[in-house]
Amino acid sequence: MHVTALVTAPDANLALVLKVLPALVVLLVAAAVCGRLAQLVLQPRVLGEMVAGVLLGPTLFGWLFPEAQAALFPPEVRPVLYVLSTVGLTLYMFLVGAGIEHGSASTPGEVRKAGVLAASGIAPSLLLGAGAGFLLYDLLSRPDVPPLQFALFLGGALSLTAFPMLARILYERGLEHTPVGRLTLLAASIDDALAWCLLAVLSAMHLGTGPGGALPTIVLTAVFAVVMLKVVAPLLRPLGRSVARTGQLGPTAMYVVVLVPLAAGWVTDWIGVYSVFGGFFAGLAMPRDPVFRRALHGRMMDVVSTLLLPTFFTFSGLNTQLGGIAGGAMLGAFGLILLAGFAGKYFGCSWAMRGIGFGRRESYAVGALMNARGLMILIFINIGLAQGMITSELFAMLVLVAVITTAGALPLYKLALPDRLEAGALAGERPEDRPVEARAPST
């Protein structure tokens, strides 16, 4: 019996490998093709990768070729994809946390303005989303989730901004150091940090036995955050100085920057609030030196975004059944959720920018960028689905919200701020302030 087990175990492992590798090949090819198609229509590559994940799920591939999809993604392969997705999300949130600017505003007034913009980005979306949640509770919620928890989850999901995508657009256009660029990045980082804190609290309450049972998880999460930022962060500063001198991450440094987020993810999983929170706080604890951050992103982001994130998109797509939101009631619910998310973020941020003294064009351009949700909302709702806080129907609706708001960000930005006005407007120069001879002739 013992000899048989020794012989069959490697055979079973090899059989699993031979099932996982074709799945990875197909999902990577689909991500590459859809990502390239997205770029051809002037959309970010990540949008195409998100769509590729949905297309590989039951909505299209499973509908057209159910036997082929079942053979490519059998039940025994999905746990492997889940593990790869979890590692990828933990490392991705680590890189997001490492990329967030905190304490680096160039002028005293910038912090106040960023706070106003952040509040206007999260409060209206949270309130409108929560209001929609209360209205749609009987239709969309699980019976074991209280109405307030369901409403806050929906509001929190809609209040997110795709901070990495926002940063990428600004960097690609050379606008990250303009007044509006710095303000937008700082406000988006505040929005996302608050949304993740809300999700941590909701997760703790959902997994606990009422508020009393959730209290230890909430306290442990707070203690973990303090330890990461006040104990681990100072211990990592010599690493930052070392990398700043050499300009690159050596083997020892690479071990550290991989082990810290994975260990932090393991701790937060043990606490009960999902590993991505550990990765995010590990990123916040990393040295803030610009050379270190460039080296870190240069070494890790390509692998994470090329291999691990497409795996996550496919795993999400396998859980996305758009057919479940057919019918008048479901389509009406989706329309209400989309409207609440779009109006709260777009108009809230745009009007706040106007209120703190920016021109009309740059205000609506910022509203468009802040309204994109991208990968961040997918991570948020996958946690909710995995922990049983939301139904598969709401999950599918929020996947569509992620795709639509992300696809609309750049066109709305361009509509508000064409190329000929972009550099001057985002640097603080309003079109109406330019000399008469520099303006377009009137008709």
362 exposure class (CB count in 10 Å sphere: 0-12, 13-18, 19+)? buried
Q: Where are the alpha helices (H) located in 247-289, listed in sequence order?
A: 251-271, 275-285
Nearest to 283 by CA among 24, 93, 101, 19: 93
**pLDDT over 70 percentage in the chain:** 86
Longest dimension (CA), the chain: 91
The pLDDT value recorded for residue 31 is 92
Tens of pLDDT, residue by residue over 102-133, are 554 455 566 778 888 888 888 999 999 999 99
Per-residue burial over 20-55, b if 16 or more Cβ lie within 10 Å, else e, is beebbebbbebbbebbeebeeeebbbbbbbbbbbbb
- The answer to whether the beta carbons of residues 139 and 132 sit under 8 Å apart is no
> What distance in Å separates the CA atoms of residue 349 and residue 343, rounded to the nearest whole number?
10
The single residue listed with the structure tokens 């001057």 is 424
What pLDDT does residue 443 have?
32
356 closest CA partner among 64, 112, 34: 112
Taking the CA atoms of 370, 372, 376 and 378 in sequence, report the sign of the dihedral they define: positive
Helix or strand run (H / E) with residue 113:
helix 108-135
CA distance 109 to 358: 14
Q: Which residue has the tokens 């909430």?
A: 218
Instruction: Name the residue among 186, 109, 115, 197 with its Cα closest to residue 152.
Output: 197
pLDDT of amino acid 420: 73
Alpha carbons 343 and 351: distance in angstroms, whole number: 11
Amino acid at site 125: S
Write down the pLDDT at residue 30: 93
pTM assigned to the model:
0.77
Packing angle of the helix pair 275-285, 78-99 (nearest 10 deg): 30
What pLDDT was estimated at residue 188? 80
Q: What is the pLDDT of residues 211-227, one digit of tens each?
A: 555 677 778 888 998 99
Buried/exposed 289-328: b ≥16 CB within 10 Å, e otherwise? bebbbebbeeebbeebbeebbbbbbbbbbbbbbbebbeee
At 137 the pLDDT is 92
Q: What pLDDT score does 9 carry?
A: 55
Give the per-residue pLDDT at 129.
93
In the CATH hierarchy, which fold is given to the domain comprising 84-300+324-422?
Na+/H+ antiporter like fold (1.20.1530)
Residue type, 70: A
Distance CA 34, CA 201 (A): 36
CA angle 383, 186, 281 (to 5 degrees): 40
Q: Where are the domains of the chain?
A: 84-300+324-422
The whole-number mean pLDDT for each consecutive block of 10 residues of the chain, a chain of 443 residues, reads 49 81 93 91 84 87 88 90 88 82 56 83 91 92 89 90 73 69 79 77 70 69 89 91 85 91 90 80 88 86 85 86 78 93 91 86 87 82 86 90 88 83 59 41 35
